[in-house]
Structure 1
C-alpha cells in the first residue's frame, strides 16, 4: 500500500493523517467524511511553483478549483500564492466570498451566461478565457455597455489526443471546447479580438486532457501552438504575453499509476517552449498552468463506516458502506479505481477480497471491486484514498442523502471547513403545493 503525504500507521495501529487519528476523526465528525491533508496540498503547490522560480520563468500556477472549491480551500490556495481557475458563477462567487485576489482569477467555460460574465466584469477579474464566437461577441457587447476593458485568453484545441479516458480528453479537434487551431477559427477570433478596444488579448490557452502521466502531449501542444504563433507574428504583428498550457497532470490512484513529479512536468514544458521560441526568434512568453487534481487529489481520503454484507458463494463477497455514488460518483461515471484499507485495523492480515458497495438504491453504486482486506466486521472504518479531487465537488443528493462534511488536518489539528448537510438542508428550497393541479 502506497501512503500519500503525512498518512501513516500510528502507535495505536490506526491510520493517521496530518498527525490526527482517523478513528478519532470518524468518532468526532461522523462518516462519511472527507479528510484533507493540508501539508500535502502545500507541498504540491510549492513543487509546481519551485521549478518556475528556479529557472527564472515568469509564470502563474492557477489552481483549477473545479477539483474542489470551498472558502477554506481557496484561502489555502491564496496563502500559497497561487492564482485561481474558475468555471462557473458559483465558483467565482465562492472566490469572491473567500476574498481571493480578483486579479489572479481566470474564468473558463464553454457557455458562460450573461450574469456570469457581468459578475466577472463587475469584480474586474484577472482574465476571461474565451471559448467561442458567441462568447466573444457577448463579452464585447457587455464591455461596451459597461465601458470596461477586460484581459482575455483565446482557448484553442490543438488537435492533441492525450492518453486518457475519452470523457476527460479535451484537446482533440472533435471537442466542445475552444477555437480549432487547424481550420482558421482561431485566426478569425484573434482578428476580431485585436480590432476591439475592449478586449486585451493576453494570449492563448489550451487544455489537452486529464490524468496524464507523461509530458509528450504537453510538448506536442506547445510546439504546435508556438509554430502557429510564429505565423501570427508575421500576419498580425502579434505575439502573446501569456501561453497557458492548462493542467491535467496525473496522480497516483492505485499502484498501477506512475505520475511524474510536479517539477518534471514543469521543467519539460519550459524546455520545449524555450526551444521553440528560440527556433522562431520569438520572445519567451509568461507560462501559466492549471493543476487541480494534482494539487488536491492525493491529499483527500474518505472515511466510511461499514454496515451490511452479502456473501454470494463462489462469486464474491459484498460489504456496504454508509456513502457511495452520492459522495463519489467517479467509479460509476469513469470506472475510476481506488485503493482502501481498514483505518482501525490497517495492519491486520489480509484474508479476503471484498467488493465495496454504496448505499444508494442503484446497482451501479459500487466504489471498489475485489479489494483485499482483513476479515471485515460491521462498524469497521474504511479509508478510501485519493478522493480529494472531484469527490465533494461532484457530490449529490441522490436518494436524498445529505452530503458529507469536509475536515482539514495539519500538524496534529483538525478543522471542520464544510458542515455535514442535514435533512432540513435537503428540503430548504422546497415549496409546498399551493393548489390541486387540474388534469
Structure 2
C-alpha cells in the first residue's frame, strides 16, 4: 500500500488535505464546484459531459472568469493611476494564451493586446483588434514582422536592439509614416522567480542596460520617422508582492526624469509578471493591492523629483487567463513505486503530458490535481501525475495528494492551466494537440478544434510529394 505518512521526498509545503476531493480556493476557477453526484463542474458544465463531447486531454477555459478578471485588473490599475492624477492602460500579454475568441473577450472588456510575434499579431488582427491598440514585443522581430506591424499601424513597437531601431526607421521612412516606439531597458532588479522567468537582470537577451537609455533615446529622437513614447521594463514572471516592481520603477523614474529634459516622455511601461496560485499554499497579492502599491511607489519617486507622474502601462497575461483554465485528462494506468525502505509514491499516468503542459519540465512548476468524475472516500496518498511521453521528465503534477483509489478511467483535472500550457504545447511523440473549449453559463463550445493525425501528416512531403515546400 502507498504510504500516507510524511516522507523525506515530500516537500514541506505539501500537507495532506482532510478531504482529497476539495477544491482549494484561488487555485480553481471561481465557477468550479462539485455537482450533487460529485462530478467537477466548470462554468456550470460537468467534466464528464465535457470529456464525453470533446474527448481528453482537453483545455477548458472559463470565459466568464477571464472576462471578470480582465475587468478587475483594468479597474485596479485605472483606479490606482487616477488617484495620483494619471492614466493607466492595460495590455493583455497574449503569449500567455491566444486565440481569436480570447482576444475578443479581452478587447470587449477594455484591454489592449500585447503580441510577441507575427503569428500573434495576425491572430489579434483576425479577431478584429484595432491595430492602434496592439503593442509588439520581441528581442528578434523578423524584418517581415516589423514590416507588417508598421503596415497595419500597430500602436507601439518596443525596441530591443540597435539593429532593430535602424530597421524600424528604414521601414517607416519607406512607408512615409511615423511609428511610435518604446525602449526596452533592464533595471537590474531581480525577480524572485525561476532564472528563466527573471527578465530584468543584465546577462540575458532582452533589452538594454539602463545606463545606455539616454544615448539610445537621443538616437531615436534624431529620426522624424519615430515618436518616442517612453521606457519599458519587465522584471519577470509569477511574482508575488509589489516590492520588486517598486524598486524597478524607482530606477526607471531616475532616467525618465533626465529624458524629460530632451522632450516628452508620455508613458512608462512596467510590464507584467503578476503571480497566481497554483497550489493551496500560494498566496498571490490581491490585484488591487498590487496596483496601488506599484503606482504609489512610482508617484512617490516622481513627487520627490518634482516631475509629473507619466501615464502608465501594464502587461498582465497569466493573472488574466491562468486561473480560468483547467485541463482534463483520463487516467490510463496507476502503479505504486517504492521510493525508499518505508515509503512509496503512487504514479498516475494520464493521456496527455509535457506536450500539453511543458511548464513542469521547463521550470519545475508545481500544479494541483483532483479526480473530476467522482468523489472518493479513500484517504489521500502521495502521488505524482505523469504523462504518456517517452521521457522520465514527463511530469504534469510533481507533488500531490490524491485519493488512494484513483484508477484507470477516472477523469483527472489540473487547475490553473490557462497560461502557458496551450501556448507552449507541442507535437512531441507525434501527439496531436488538445482542443480548447470555452464554458459559460452551463454551455460549452470549442474555440480551437482538436488536432488529428491527418493534420500532422498533411505537412509531411513524404506523404504528399507533389506539394511544394515554402
Task: Provide the TM-score with structure 1 as the length reference.
Answer: 0.95
Rounded to whole Å, the distance in 1 between the matches of 2:49 and 2:379 is 23
Rounded to whole Å, the distance in 2 between the matches of 1:54 and 1:158 is 26
Match of 2:239 among 204, 212, 220: 212
Q: Please tell me whether residue 66 in structure 1 is matched to residue 128 in structure 2.
A: no
- 1:264-413 matches, within 5 Å, as 264-313=289-338, 314-346=343-375, 348-374=377-403, 375-413=405-443
C-alpha distance after superposition, 1:388-429 (max 9, x if no partner): 100000000000000000011111111110000011111111
Match of 2:220 among 193, 202, 205: 193
State the match for 1:429 in structure 2: 459
Q: Please tell me whether residue 101 in structure 1 is matched to residue 130 in structure 2.
A: yes
Deviation for aligned residue 1:54: 3.0
Match of 2:248 among 221, 237, 241: 221
Deviation for aligned residue 1:370: 4.1
In 2, are the aligned partners of 1:229 and 1:239 still within 8 Å (CA)?
no
Deviation for aligned residue 1:74: 0.5
In 2, are the aligned partners of 1:44 and 1:262 still within 8 Å (CA)?
no
Secondary structure at the residue paired with 1:392? coil
State the match for 1:51 in structure 2: 76
Q: Which runs of 4+ in 1 moved over 6 A?
A: none
Deviation for aligned residue 1:233: 2.5
C-alpha distance after superposition, 1:330-386 (max 9, x if no partner): 111111110010001245333422221100111111112342112111110000011
Rounded to whole Å, the distance in 2 between the matches of 1:81 and 1:348 is 45
Query: Paired residues, what number?
Result: 431
More displaced 10-residue stretch of structure 1: 83-92 or 421-430: 421-430
- Structure 1's 273 and 106: CA in aligned 2 closer, same or farther, altered over 3 A? same
Rounded to whole Å, the distance in 2 between the matches of 1:129 and 1:370 is 39
Larger RCO, structure (CA 8 Å, separation 6 or more): 2
In 1, are the aligned partners of 2:92 and 2:112 still within 8 Å (CA)?
yes
C-alpha distance after superposition, 1:200-255 (max 9, x if no partner): 00111100000000101100011111111122233x2x241011000000000012
In 1, are the aligned partners of 2:213 and 2:255 still within 8 Å (CA)?
no
State the match for 2:14 in structure 1: none
Deviation for aligned residue 1:317: 2.3
Secondary structure at the residue paired with 1:117? helix
Secondary structure at the residue paired with 2:458? coil
- 1:249-260 matches, within 5 Å, as 249-260=274-285
Rounded to whole Å, the distance in 2 between the matches of 1:252 and 1:93 is 31
Rounded to whole Å, the distance in 1 between the matches of 2:460 and 2:297 is 54
Q: Please tell me whether residue 119 in structure 1 is matched to residue 141 in structure 2.
A: no
Q: Please tell me whether residue 164 in structure 1 is matched to residue 193 in structure 2.
A: yes
Match of 1:131 among 160, 163, 181: 160
Rounded to whole Å, the distance in 2 between the matches of 1:315 and 1:21 is 33
Secondary structure at the residue paired with 1:303? strand
- Structure 1's 145 and 32: CA in aligned 2 closer, same or farther, altered over 3 A? same
Deviation for aligned residue 1:261: 1.4
C-alpha distance after superposition, 1:63-116 (max 9, x if no partner): 000000111111111111100000000000101111111111000000001100
Q: Which runs of 5+ in 1 are unaligned?
A: none
Rounded to whole Å, the distance in 2 between the matches of 1:343 and 1:25 is 11
* Alignment RMSD (CA, Å): 1.5
In 2, are the aligned partners of 1:110 and 1:177 still within 8 Å (CA)?
yes
